Copies of this chain bind each other. A is one copy, B any other.
Amino acid sequence: MKQVRIAVLGMGRQGQIHSKNIAYRIPEAELVAVSDISKELAGKVGIDGVDLYDDYRKILERDDIDGVVIATSTDTHEEVIRATAQAGKAMFCEKPIATTLEAIDDVLGVVEKAGVKFMVGFNRRFDPTFSRVRSLVEDGTVGKPMIVNITSRDPQPPHLEYLKVCGGIFFDTTVHDFDMARFVSGDEIVEVYATGSVLVDERIGELGDLDTTMVTLKFASGAVGSINNSRKTGYSYDQRVEVFGDRSCAFAGNETPTRVHYVNPQGTHSDVPLYFNIERYPEAFYGEVKAFVDCLVNDSPPPVTGVDGRKAVVLSMAARKSYEENRPVPVSEIG
């Protein structure tokens, strides 16, 4: 069964999740090695028979590894991708590819030259609910998409320290929704208009960032769309998608912990949605790594490419520019 040998670089929360999925849930793959600058953290993965490294370059030197999962800190992605490409290994990389468009283009050039498989981690595409909406578009059930509405709100804002380095809400949050809009519609976004406010926490505003935003989308086909984001719902993760087409309107709703409801004189009561991405997307985290393994096993192209990663960043840039200049920005203005 084991056909591909994988290593995971970076043993933070996401690296741990990927490691366990590879080791326990994907019979076609073997988890051979993991690395983290803290070997102690690497050791926490606790899976029998996995080699631990504190330098990911040692892993890249090994001949017996087919692909790597890059889950190191965001600021190292560029360097690790280059090194992995030069080592001639296939790779799955968490977004973003790099922090500037120039760096992204340069890195994608290196990857292309190396001729290695490269997949970007937009996990939500692999969530059963969102991927089913995509299927309903693909199989014609929805018809021609005309309106795409995306709601994407976090239960609580991240720590201020994170907010300072995350690049702002458009790059940190909306970027996923731009990819989702492209994914479910099968269409390209040609213009965006972004507006927003600081309604959750003044300190977010002091960082020059927003916490509540609305982005209008114009697609190549003429379809229109909206993405609304908030850094804080209070209740839980609110992740919904609607695609209105000329044959039907499809909705992806929130998952809940149980299917219980009860009726009392005050009303009918059911669960809040699952709390956050860890609770909401275990199957998507599994699915994306499974897809990466599949494209190694079958020698097929990755389902999410470097171009997809680049496009989401370009759209985030357009949104930021739109907000700053308070005008719709054609995506062609960027990069």
Residues of A within 8 A of B (CB): 20, 24, 27, 46, 48-49, 128-129, 132-133, 136, 141-142, 144, 146-147, 149, 151, 153, 191, 193, 195-200, 212-214, 216-218, 221-226, 228, 230, 232-236, 238, 244, 246-273, 326-328
Q: With CB as the reference atom, state the residue of chain B lying closest to A147.
A: B228
B250 touching A147 by the CB < 8 A rule? no
Q: Which residues of B contact A250 (CB under 8 A)?
A: 260-262
A261 touching B257 by the CB < 8 A rule? no
Q: Name the one of B136, B224, B228, B273 contacting A260, with C-beta atoms under 8 angstroms.
A: B136
B244 touching A153 by the CB < 8 A rule? yes
Q: Which residues of B contact A269 (CB under 8 A)?
A: 266-269
B263 touching A147 by the CB < 8 A rule? no
B218 touching A216 by the CB < 8 A rule? no
> 17 A–B contact pairs at CB < 8 A?
A48-B49, A129-B260, A146-B230, A195-B328, A197-B222, A198-B222, A212-B224, A236-B263, A247-B264, A248-B262, A248-B263, A250-B261, A251-B261, A263-B273, A267-B270, A267-B271, A326-B328
A224 touching B249 by the CB < 8 A rule? no
Q: Which residues of B contact A234 (CB under 8 A)?
A: 246-248, 264-265
A232 to B244, CA, bound (A): 10
Q: Which residues of B contact A270 (CB under 8 A)?
A: 267-268
A235 touching B263 by the CB < 8 A rule? yes
This chain: copies in complex: 4
A271 to B230, CA, bound (A): 27
Q: Which residues of B contact A236 (CB under 8 A)?
A: 263, 265
Known: A141-B262, A264-B235, A272-B268. A224 touches B253 (CB 8 A): no
B246 touching A253 by the CB < 8 A rule? no
Known: A248-B263, A254-B259, A327-B327. A193 touches B212 (CB 8 A): no
A195 touching B196 by the CB < 8 A rule? no
Known: A149-B226, A260-B133. A214 touches B216 (CB 8 A): yes
Q: Which residues of B contact A262 (CB under 8 A)?
A: 136, 141-142, 248-251
Known: A146-B212, A147-B228, A195-B218. A257 touches B24 (CB 8 A): no
Smallest Cβ distance from A3 to chain B, in angstroms?
14
Q: With CB as the reference atom, state the residue of chain B lying closest to A153.
A: B244
Q: With CB as the reference atom, state the residue of chain B lying closest to A270.
A: B268
A129 to B268, CA, bound (A): 16
Using A214-B224, A234-B265 as known contacts, list a sample of 10 further A-B pairs with CB atoms less than 8 Å apart, ordered by residue number in A: A48-B48, A128-B258, A129-B260, A133-B260, A149-B226, A199-B223, A216-B226, A238-B249, A238-B263, A265-B272
A197 to B271, CA, bound (A): 32
Q: Name the one of B128, B133, B199 contacting A222, with C-beta atoms under 8 angstroms.
A: B199
Known: A144-B199, A262-B141, A268-B270. A230 touches B244 (CB 8 A): yes
A278 to B264, CA, bound (A): 20
